[in-house]
Amino acid sequence: MIKNALISVSDKTGVVEFAKGLVELGVTIYSTGGTLKALSNAGVPAKAVESLTGFPEMLDGRVKTLHPIVHGGILGIRDNEEHKKAMAEHGIQPIDLVVVNLYPFRETIAKPDVTLADAIENIDIGGPTMVRSAAKNNAFVGIIVNPKHYDEALRMLREKGELTREYRFALAREAFAHTAAYDVAIANYLGEQVGDMPLPDTYLAAYEKAADLRYGENPHQKAAFYTTIGEKEGLGAMKVLHGKELSYNNLVDMEAAWQIVGEFTEPAAIIVKHTNPCGAAVGDTLLEAYTRAYEADPVSAFGGIVALNREVTKEVAEQLASIFLEVIMAPHFTAEALDVLTVKKNIRLVELQQPEEEGVVVKKVSGGLLVQTEDGREPVVSDAASAAKAGYTVVTKVQPTEAQWRALGLAWRLVKHVKSNAIVVTDEHSTLGVGAGQMNRVGSAKIALEEAGEKAKGAVMASDAFFPFGDTVEEAAKHGITAVIQPGGSIRDEESIKKADEAGIAMVFTHMRHFKH
C-alpha cells in the first residue's frame, strides 16, 4: 500500500494529473519548490517537505530533502523490527513512493552562453540521493524517474492496490541508470573544462535505446540502436520520413555515407555499398552530381545507400526512383520529391544534418575500448596554391595540371573513407574505380584500375597510405594514370618517384596517412 509519496520533478510533464490520481487513491503527497507550486496552483492537495521534516528549505534550495526524516522514511526496511522501532522513536513516516527527476543539467550546458557557475548550480544533489535511496529499497518503495510510467503506475495501483515487486525492481534498475547517465554528463562536462577530453583517464558514455532492430549483421544476432542522451546529432537526430524500419547494416552504411558526403560543400552525391563508396561525385547541381555518381558504377549502385548534401527536388527524385535503393539521405526533401519517392513502399527516406563538431571514434575490443579522435575533414584542394597551403608537395619533375589538381583534391577527400588498403581512381568530377580492403596495395590498385577500364586513361589515382614498392606506380602507368596523390613516407619513396618520372606521371605527397580499418 502506498500511503505517502514524495514528488519533486524538474520535468513536470503529466505530474499534475498523476498527483491527482494518487490523491484519489488516498495518498498523501509531499513536495518541494516548483513542483509544490505547480501542484498547489492546480488545486492538488500537497504538503511541503518542511512540514514533514520541521526544517525549512535553505541555502537557495540546495538543502531541502537532505534530512533523516526524508531518507529514513525512504530507506527504512518495513519488516525489520529494529528499523520500525527507530522510525517510531524518531517520528519518521514511511515514504512509499518517490517521484523525482533531476535538475536540467544537460539542457543548461547546451546553452551557448552557459557559464561554469550556471552549470554547477544545475548539478542536482538531493534528487539523485532520493532516487538512489528509493531504488536501493525497492523491496518496499517505488521510484519513478520518467513521466512515461505515470499512467501505468496509476493503473496498477487502481487494479492491484500496490506496485508489484517486479515492477518496483524494474523501476529501480531504470532509476540507477538515470542517475548514472546524469553523473556521466557532469563528469564529461567538467572534463572539458579542465582539458581532459576527448580522451579522459576514465572514459564515460551513456546512451538510451532508440529502437530495437530486427537483427544485427546477420539474422542470428540481436541488435538495437542507441543514441546519445539529451541533445541529438548525426544519425541520432535523423527523421525517417518513409519506408520500412532501418536495419543494423543500413545504419552502418548510412554512417559511412554521411561521413563521406560531409567532406563536401559543393553539390555532392555518394552511393555506398558495405561501407565503401561505389560511386561518388560532385557537380554544379545535385542532379549532375547524382547522375555522375550513379554512372561511376551502375551495377554496384543497385541496392545502395545514397547520401546527398542538398535538398532533393522532384527532378532529382525521379532519377533516384529509377533504380532500387535501400536508403536515401539528405538535409531535406521537397513535397514533390516525396510524392515521387514514397510510391516505393520500402525505400527509406531520411532527413538529417551534419554534426556541428567532430567527436571520437569508438571500437569495442575484447576487454576494452579503442577510442580515437575523428579523422577530420580534409582541406579543399583544387589548385597548386591550395595544395601548398595544405602542406602538399609535388615530388616529381612533372607538375599536375589545373584539371589534375581538381581531380587529385577529389580523390584525396574520398580515399580516406575507403577501407584500407585503399586506392581510388577519379577524374575531376567522380570516382571511376575503387579498390578496397585488399591485403596488399597493388591488389587494390588492380581492382580500381580494372573497374575504371578505359576511363583510367588521363585519370588520377589516390592511395590512403604510402607505396611500399614501385609496383603500384607501374600498374597505374600501364592503365594511363597521369597523376597520383599519396602520403609518402616509405623507405622506398625514391623508387616510386623514379617510376613516376619515367612514366611522366605527376606525384603529390600529402604527408598525412588515412588508414581506415
Q: Residue 160 catalytic?
A: no
Query: Does residue 290 contact residue 312 with C-beta atoms inside 8 Å?
Result: no
Contacts of the segment 113-121: beta carbons below 8 A, 24+ positions apart: 116/193, 119/189
User: DSSP for 341-390?
Assistant: HTTSSS-EEEE----SS--EEEEEETTEEEEEE--PPPP---SHHHHHHT
Distances in Å between the Cα of 444 and the Cα atoms of 6, 271, 419 are: 65, 19, 10
Q: Residue 274 catalytic?
A: yes
The single residue listed with the C-alpha cell 597551403 is: 389
CA distance linking residue 136 with residue 154, whole number of Å: 22
Dihedral sign for Cα 297, 301, 307, 312, please. positive
Q: Which of 274, 314, 344, 498 is catalytic?
A: 274
DSSP 313: P
Query: Alpha helix (H) ranges present in 197-285?
Result: 248-261
First CA to last CA across the chain, in angstroms? 57
Q: What phi and psi, each to the nearest 5 degrees, are found at residue 223?
A: -160, 155
Q: What phi and psi, each to the nearest 5 degrees, are found at residue 63?
A: -125, 115
CA distance linking residue 489 with residue 495, whole number of Å: 12
Give CA torsion, residues 85, 86, 92, 98, to 10 deg. Answer: -100
Helix 150-160 / helix 15-24 crossing angle, nearest 10 deg: 10
Distances in Å between the Cα of 507 and the Cα atoms of 401, 460, 481, 510 are: 12, 10, 11, 10
Query: Does residue 414 contact residue 436 with C-beta atoms inside 8 Å?
Result: no
Q: Which of 12, 67, 83, 136 is catalytic?
A: 136
**285: closest CA among 326, 327, 322, 315?**
315
Encode burial over 312-331: b for 16+ CB neighbours within 10 A, e otherwise. bbeebbebbbeeebbbbbbe
Query: Does residue 20 contact residue 27 with C-beta atoms inside 8 Å?
Result: no
In sequence order, what are the residues at sequence separation of 6 or more whose Cβ sits closer than 8 angstroms to the Cβ of residue 218?
A: none
Query: Alpha helix (H) ranges present in 14-125?
Result: 15-24, 33-41, 49-53, 68-75, 81-89, 105-109, 116-121
Q: Active-site residues: which are they?
A: 136, 274
